[in-house]
């Protein structure tokens, strides 16, 4: 069974009242008032939950949120998630004051068919990230079967991702299955030409992905601060721009492929702020004391032309500091080009998804992934710990 062939919901041994532990990804932004500012990941979980409820299952949901460091922290409580989930489902979503223990077990056992329970933040227990066997057991006892619908966490070997599949019949939820289907097709049968767009701050974070994409892409367009390590490899002056000296030689070798395109002009400033005075200059002409914070209009136009001709586009990482007005133009131009592209378009989660949403273009993309880090690892490795756990579970007799 390939990574793109994970067991589906239809493969589960379900009966009336079967308790299903669903690992969701509700790691959403919440403001100081406890209001959710982007509920994309919550809405993305609805098809799986509704399918299980339609099949008369009781649904026990679990997720992490934030980084509470293995102990309860009210700032990261799942209460706002439960409220929003209840609004979307049109039912009351019960909550448990603990993660996996007697109270959660009692709540789960008393859950009626079609009922929904959300247990407290998984990361309130240190056993989640340390993959503690006792925590895995406690979590698995909450249900009869397990569903992983958390693509954004599927690259983590955490207890809730790899533990329950060891002992429970397991499958992928609708969200996870769709992510694997789309990304698997990018690796196996992309429509040509295949254009990859990579941005972000550090080239070191993307080296494995660049290698994987070079084996498949016709063109890779580079932006963001990572571009300046490539510029340094070309011997260009980069001023005070971010650079990773240890990776200059590697970038020089990558450029020899002839398929990696780097900015020919940039937008620079002396400081990264929304009120900074910005200037435009050619690549290699950045003076000391100035730093590159966006690709320039010439580069953005050239990138847009390449994207327009693509049969497949994968975009991961912004072209500049798009959150600030002086440095948003490059990312906006690329986002508009991806939205207008007639080929199959995929945004690999993270800041790229945030940028598309900021510019009101997210609904014009064929697939917006819910996991930035998971997308990169899947492309680099061709598999994820969470997917492997599901496949291995399907081969066991539970």
Under DSSP, the state recorded for 325 is G
As a whole number of angstroms, the distance between CA 29 and CA 201 comes to 21
The DSSP 8-state label assigned to residue 216 in this structure reads T
One domain, residues 17 and 112: yes
Tell me: do 258 and 161 sit in the same domain.
no
The answer to whether residues 135 and 129 touch, using CB atoms and an 8 Å cutoff, is no
Residues 337 and 201 in one domain: yes
Write out the chain's pLDDT in tens, 398 residues.
455 589 999 999 999 999 999 999 999 988 888 889 888 899 999 999 999 999 999 999 999 999 998 999 999 999 999 999 999 999 999 999 899 889 999 999 999 999 999 999 999 999 999 999 999 999 999 999 999 999 999 999 999 999 999 999 999 999 999 999 999 998 888 999 999 999 988 999 899 999 999 999 999 999 999 999 999 999 999 999 999 999 999 999 999 999 999 999 999 999 999 999 999 999 999 999 999 999 999 999 999 999 999 999 999 999 999 999 999 999 999 999 999 999 999 998 788 998 999 999 999 999 999 888 899 899 999 999 999 999 999 888 76
Same domain as 32, residue 151 = yes
In a domain, residue 327? The reply is: yes
**Same structural domain for residues 149 and 222?**
no
Q: Determine the Cα–Cα distance for residues 296 and 264; give it in Å rounded to an integer.
A: 8
Strands (E), the chain: 19-23, 58-62, 93-95, 116-118, 145-148, 170-172, 194-198, 219-222, 237-238, 260-261, 265-269, 278-282, 285-286, 291-295, 312-316, 344-347, 367-368
Burial of 119 (0-12, 13-18, 19+ CB in 10 A): buried
Specify whether the backbone of 171 is left (phi greater than 0), alpha (psi in -120 to 50) or beta.
beta
Give domain status of residue 350, yes or no.
no
Residue-level pLDDT at 372: 83
**Do 169 and 205 belong to one domain?**
no
Element (H, E) at 86: helix 79-89
Note the pLDDT tens digit of each residue in 12-60: 999 999 999 999 999 998 888 888 988 889 999 999 999 999 999 999 9
How are beta strands 312-316 and 194-198 bridged, if at all? parallel
pTM for this one? 0.90
Same domain, 59 and 200: no
Give me the active site residues, please. 41, 202, 350, 373
Query: Is residue 158, in this structure, part of any structural domain at all?
Result: yes
Q: How far is CA 84 from the centre of its chain?
A: 21
3 state SS of 212: helix
Q: Which residues pair with 36 in a beta bridge?
A: 30
CATH of the domain at 243: 3.40.50.1260
What is the residue whose two structure tokens read 């997308």? Answer: 375
Residue 4: what pLDDT?
59
- Residue 31: inside a domain: yes
Q: Structure tokens of 85?
A: 């989930």
Indicate the number of domains in the chain. Answer: 2
* Residue 207 in tokens: 């080296």
Distance CA 154, CA 295 (A): 32
- 81 with 54, same domain? yes
Query: CA 110 → CA 14, 24, 75, 164, 249, distances in Å?
Result: 18, 21, 28, 20, 61
d(CA 49, CA 8): 14
Is the domain of 163 the same as that of 15? yes
Which domain covers residue 291, as residue numbers? 192-342
Residue 1 is predicted with a pLDDT of 42
Residue 224 resides in a domain: yes
Query: In this structure, are 33 and 161 located in the same domain?
Result: yes
Residues 18 and 145 sit within 8 Å (Cβ to Cβ): yes
Are the C-beta atoms of residues 323 and 352 closer than 8 Å to each other? no
State yes or no: cis peptide before 193, omega within 30 of 0: yes
Q: Is residue 368 part of a domain?
A: no
Q: Is residue 333 part of a domain?
A: yes
**Shared-domain flag, residues 204 and 161:** no
Q: Is 288 in the same domain as 336?
A: yes
CA pair distance 146, 163, nearest whole angstrom: 10
142 found inside a domain? yes
């Amino acid at each position: 069974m390939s990574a793109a062939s994970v067991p589906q919901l239809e493969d589960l041994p379900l009966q009336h009242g079967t308790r299903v532990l669903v690992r969701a990804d509700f790691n959403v932004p919440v403001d100081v008032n406890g209001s959710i500012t982007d509920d994309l990941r919550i809405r993305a979980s609805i098809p799986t939950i509704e399918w299980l409820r339609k099949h008369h299952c009781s649904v026990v949901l679990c997720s992490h949120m934030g980084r509470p460091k293995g102990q309860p922290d009210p700032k990261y409580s799942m209460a706002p998630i439960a409220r929003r989930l209840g609004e979307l489902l049109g039912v009351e979503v019960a909550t448990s004051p603990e993660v996996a223990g007697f109270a959660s077990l009692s709540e789960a056992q008393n859950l009626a068919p079609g009922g929904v329970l959300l247990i407290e933040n998984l990361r309130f227990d240190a056993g989640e990230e340390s993959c503690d066997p006792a925590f895995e057991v406690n979590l698995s006892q909450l249900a009869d079967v397990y569903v992983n619908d958390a693509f954004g966490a599927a690259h983590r070997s955490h207890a809730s991702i790899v533990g329950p599949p060891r002992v429970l019949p397991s499958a992928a939820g609708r969200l996870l299955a769709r992510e694997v289907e789309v990304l698997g097709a990018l690796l196996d049968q992309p429509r040509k030409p295949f254009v990859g767009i990579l941005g972000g701050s550090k080239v070191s974070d993307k080296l494995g992905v660049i290698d994987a994409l070079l084996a498949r892409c016709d063109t890779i367009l580079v932006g963001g601060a990572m571009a300046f390590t490539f510029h340094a490899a070309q011997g260009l002056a980069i001023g005070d721009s971010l650079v990773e000296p240890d990776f200059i030689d590697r970038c020089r070798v990558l450029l020899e492929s002839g398929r990696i395109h780097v900015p020919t002009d940039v937008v620079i400033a002396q400081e990264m702020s929304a009120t900074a005075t910005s200037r435009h200059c050619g690549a290699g002409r950045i003076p000391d004391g100035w730093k590159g914070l966006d690709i320039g209009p010439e580069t953005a136009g050239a990138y847009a032309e390449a994207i327009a001709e693509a049969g497949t586009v994968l975009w991961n990482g912004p072209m500049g500091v798009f959150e600030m007005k002086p440095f948003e133009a490059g990312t906006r131009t690329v986002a508009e080009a991806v939205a207008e592209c007639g080929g199959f378009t995929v945004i690999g989660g993270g800041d790229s998804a945030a940028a598309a949403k900021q510019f009101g273009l997210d609904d014009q993309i064929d697939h917006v992934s819910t996991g930035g880090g998971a997308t990169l690892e899947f492309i680099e490795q061709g598999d994820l710990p969470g997917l492997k756990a599901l496949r291995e579970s399907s081969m066991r007799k539970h």
